[in-house]
């Protein structure tokens, strides 16, 4: 940031560090050991779609890219009630020691990177990796693209959150992932795929 930016109160937005997604497999082992939460095998990227043939082509290329290969996930896209698109990667349920979690995270990274490289980065909202406990509790690790940080989201019923579980996840992963410190950015993502 330069002197003029300081004087005028402007700041540069924090850049996403998409490589932080590659820390999720080790965080998954910690979540299973400490809290009994295991990955569901699902993951998704949420973004605001753009109008035009360029975006439609990019999205079609993304689906083709991540659904290639014999062990590729099932890929679907849905639009939520707020107009955001969720590109979902669905693997079979995972064990944290299973390298398929690495494959899932690699797919999420590829989707984010491709959208960014094609000029659609401003439309990226978040990436989500859901976990479930033996008791049926769900929690998602949400990566905020524009902040470069993670936060937990634990739905506990219609329009209710399990704040205690969210805090437990945050505290458990504080040394493994860049956790979002501003609780005002822990957005509720009701109806997100996999939760």
* Closest-CA residue to 39 (of 135, 132, 159): 132
pLDDT band at 47 (very low <50, low <70, confident <90, very high): very high
Q: What is the pTM of this model?
A: 0.86
Q: What's the pLDDT at 5? A: 57
* Rounded CA separation 81/85 (Å): 10
* Rounded CA separation 153/145 (Å): 15
Q: What's the pLDDT at 28? A: 94
- Mean predicted confidence (pLDDT) in 152-170: 95
* Rounded CA separation 120/99 (Å): 30
Mean model confidence pLDDT for the chain:
87
Residue by residue, DSSP assigns 73-123 as PEEEEEE-TTSEEEEEEEPSP--TTSTHHHHHHHHHHHHHHHHIIIIIGGG
The full set of domains in the chain, from first to last, is 13-177 (3.30.70)
**8 A C-beta contact, residue 115 and residue 65:** no
Q: What is the pLDDT of residues 75-116, one digit of tens each?
A: 999 988 888 999 999 876 654 445 578 888 999 999 999 999
- Mean predicted confidence (pLDDT) in 1-26: 69
Does the pLDDT value for residue 125 go beyond 90?
yes
Higher local confidence (pLDDT), 9 or 130 = 130
Rg, the chain, Cα only: 17
Q: What's the pLDDT at 124? A: 94
CA distances from 33 to 30, 36, 129, 172 (A): 5, 6, 17, 10
Which letter does DSSP use for residue 41 in this model?
S
* Closest-CA residue to 105 (of 116, 115, 94): 94
């Amino acid at each position: 940031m330069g002197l003029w930016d300081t004087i005028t109160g402007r700041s540069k937005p924090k850049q996403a560090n998409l490589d932080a997604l590659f820390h999720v497999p080790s965080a998954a082992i910690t979540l299973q050991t400490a809290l009994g939460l295991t990955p569901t095998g699902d993951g998704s990227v949420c973004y605001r779609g753009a109008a035009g043939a360029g975006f439609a082509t990019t999205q079609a290329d993304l689906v083709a890219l991540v659904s290639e290969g014999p062990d590729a996930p099932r890929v679907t896209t849905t639009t939520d009630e707020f107009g955001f698109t969720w590109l979902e990667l669905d693997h079979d349920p995972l064990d944290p020691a299973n390298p398929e979690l690495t494959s899932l995270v690699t797919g999420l990274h590829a989707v984010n990177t491709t959208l960014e490289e094609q000029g659609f980065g401003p439309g990226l909202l978040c990436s989500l990796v859901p976990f479930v406990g033996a008791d049926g509790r769900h929690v998602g690790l949400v990566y905020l693209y524009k902040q470069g940080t993670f936060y937990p989201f634990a739905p506990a019923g219609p329009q209710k959150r399990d704040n205690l579980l969210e805090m437990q996840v945050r505290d458990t992963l504080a040394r493994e992932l860049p956790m979002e410190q501003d609780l005002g950015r822990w957005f509720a993502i009701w109806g997100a795929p996999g939760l």
